Amino acid sequence: MRKDLRGTRLVREVYQRYPYYAIRSEIIDQVLPSAKDREKVDAARPSRKTPGLLTIGYEGKSLETYLNQLIKAGVALLCDVRRNPLSRKYGFSKSTLSQACRTVGIDYEHIPDLGIASSERRNISHKEDYVERFVAYRKNSLPKNQAALDQIKNWVTNSKQRVALTCFERDPFHCHRHCVAEAISKQTDSKLIALHLP
């Protein structure tokens, strides 16, 4: 990239070389007046996806990587199922994450009732610990939170959105979000199967 470029010329060069970065641009018509250049941006846009349920963890990811995964998967709504949406990792506390989602056109909802209290997550290190914790979660927590499950199911089935459940853990089977996804799946006529984003 030429070092002498500034302002609109620099933005035009970036948009032409990397059209994905222009998919949410509000100035694209000014920067790329050529329809041919704008076609490249249209081709870079993720296609509209069918409604669905996804899950994603942010462990080991930067905020940029995480948001790009959501965009490419066609997610319209991110449901944060952490009890306490705080994080030491930049960008993943509730206020910052919700703002970042809005910036890229993704709605954000926090549903703390579906979270697991931190006291109940301590001393989990072996597969058996996870199995035991999730059996208790399915038995004790999920039945008490049917309204929250119904709301998520409604967003997917009636509002026709792609909804992603999020929490920390990279592996969905080390996280309660897979239990939430399974509960919603069982309650749908189509037996909605959740896609776990890597």
Instruction: State yes or no: pLDDT of 167 exceeds 70.
Output: yes
d(CA 28, CA 38): 8
**Both tokens of residue 131?**
């199995």
Contact predicate 181/146, CB 8 Å? no
Q: Write the pLDDT tens digit of every residue in 70-108.
A: 999 999 999 999 999 999 999 999 999 999 999 999 999
Which runs of E-coded beta strand occur in the chain? 52-57, 77-80, 107-110, 162-167, 195-196
Q: Which residues on neighbouring strands pair with residue 117, listed in sequence order?
A: none
Q: Decide yes or no: CATH 2.60.120 for domain 52-196.
A: no
**Both tokens of residue 153?**
């199911």
Q: What is the CA radius of gyration of the chain?
A: 20
Q: What are the domain boundaries of the chain?
A: 7-44, 52-196
- Mean pLDDT for the stretch of residues 1-9: 83
